[in-house]
Amino acid sequence: MSKATMQPEPDSPILEVTDLRKLFPVKKVRLFGAKDRFVHAVDGVSFQVGHGEVLALVGESGCGKSTLALTLMGLEKPTSGDILFEGDSLASQNSRGLKTWRRHIQMVFQDPYESLNPLMTIGDIVAEPLVVHGIAPNREEREARVIRALEDSGLKPATEYLHRLPHELSGGQRQRVVIAGALVLEPTVLLADEPVSMLDVSIRAEILNLLADLRQKRGISILFITHDMGTIAHFADRIAVMYLGRIVEIGQTLEVLSNPQHPYTKALLSVVPVPNPRLRRERIILQGETPNPIDLPSGCRFHPRCPVAFEQCPVVDPRLLSIGDQDEIPHAAACLLVNAESQPVP
């Protein structure tokens, strides 16, 4: 896969996911007569990410967000479906093509304490992707790119960090090093998997502002994975809400936050803290645990916990339907309570 062969249309998405599924087989307990069983980690997910867009993927722990990110990186092989990056399919990549794929799509992992080699200096950690991909073989050029990545990540002056070890840095500084390690390859897509969940509240805003600045300065598209609806209101262009391996609602950020349609989205928003004590709202506390992703509920997957479920919910598996008039960025939800005249999302 070479950039020279990638010539997408101006309005085409940079990343397109179509009916993606990732199932993990479960070890059989019995030798004979046992049916094949699978963990439905990602089960029929479709979405697009535009050039320079921030799409937030929101959901509880265990809903499949991180597995989806690992599959987009090519670290997990899809069971079915397709992933297109600037029109190029992941399924068509050999080992060399997959290596190039990862050069353009980089990931920021959740835990900065586990993401960094404690025996390597910060300079060597950030330079390692350049060595792996054979970029900037000249030492001076390589160091210049490392310094630029560190400074773009907010570590200034970068020369003061090059020879330090990870244990000498704070949690926020370590996360900035992780971001610098992804930026040094100058990717066009950044997969940020819970990048602020391990940080103090005072540091989270700094990292979010950093990612917003990088999006503006470098034009990077970002898939921002989080379980906290409160962190993305001012940051994401669109929100996709994921539950038990599927996207149950997607739309523009302000539209989803102000007019949620799926009961699961409403429940997530109801527990987001509000700074004004006079603005009280009813909290929706979901009953029970998330169903087993091996033995999925019939019909709507959310119905065992849904406060407004009715007799059709255990029977009919709702499709993701666009709400209201079709516009350039539709608001869609997978719920039987959505207007019956809603249209399937293309």
Name the residue among 12, 10, 48, 82 with its Cα closest to residue 251.
Answer: 48
Structural domain boundaries enclosing 288: 13-344
As a whole number, mean pLDDT of residues 196-203 equals: 77
Quick check: is 136 in a domain?
yes
Quick check: is 76 in a domain?
yes
Residue 85 has pLDDT above 80, yes or no: yes
Name the residue among 232, 223, 226, 109 with its Cα closest to residue 177.
Answer: 109
Under 8 Å between Cβ of 83 and 89: yes
In whole angstroms, what is the distance from residue 227 CA to residue 242 CA?
10
Quick check: is 7 in a domain?
no
Under 8 Å between Cβ of 133 and 104: no
Under 8 Å between Cβ of 17 and 91: no
- In this prediction, residue 313 carries a pLDDT of 92
Residue 21 has pLDDT above 80, yes or no: yes
- In this prediction, residue 5 carries a pLDDT of 37
Quick check: is 195 in a domain?
yes
Residue 8 has pLDDT above 50, yes or no: no
Quick check: is 206 in a domain?
yes
CA–CA distance from 135 to each of 43, 117, 150, 219 (Å)?
37, 21, 17, 21
Task: Write 145-152 long-range contacts (CB < 8 A, 24+).
Answer: 145/184, 146/180, 146/184, 149/180, 149/181, 149/183, 149/184, 150/122, 150/126, 150/176, 150/177, 150/180, 152/180, 152/183, 152/214, 152/217, 152/218
As a whole number, mean pLDDT of residues 99-107 equals: 89
Q: What average pLDDT is seen over the chain?
A: 85
Under 8 Å between Cβ of 153 and 179: yes
Which of the residue ranges 74-83, 84-93, 264-273, 332-341 would you say has the lowest mean pLDDT?
332-341
- As for how many domains the chain has, the answer is 1
Quick check: is 1 in a domain?
no
How many C-beta atoms lie closer than 10 Å to residue 106's C-beta? 22
Please list, in sequence order, all residues whose beta carbon lies within 8 angstroms of the beta carbon of residue 280, skipping any fewer than 6 positions away: none
Q: Output the six-digit token pair for 338.
A: 């959505």
Which three-class secondary structure string do you get for 81-143?
Answer: EEEEECCEEHHHCCHHHHHHHHHHEEEECCCHHHHCCCCCCHHHHHHHHHHHCCCCCCHHHHH
- In this prediction, residue 238 carries a pLDDT of 94
pLDDT per residue as tens digits for the range 215-269:
888 889 999 998 888 778 778 999 999 999 999 999 999 999 989 999 999 988 8
- Tell me the CATH number at 218: 3.40.50.300
Quick check: is 66 in a domain?
yes
Name the residue among 88, 87, 75, 67 with its Cα closest to residue 20.
Answer: 67
| pLDDT range class, residue 7, cuts 50, 70, 90 | very low
Quick check: is 277 in a domain?
yes
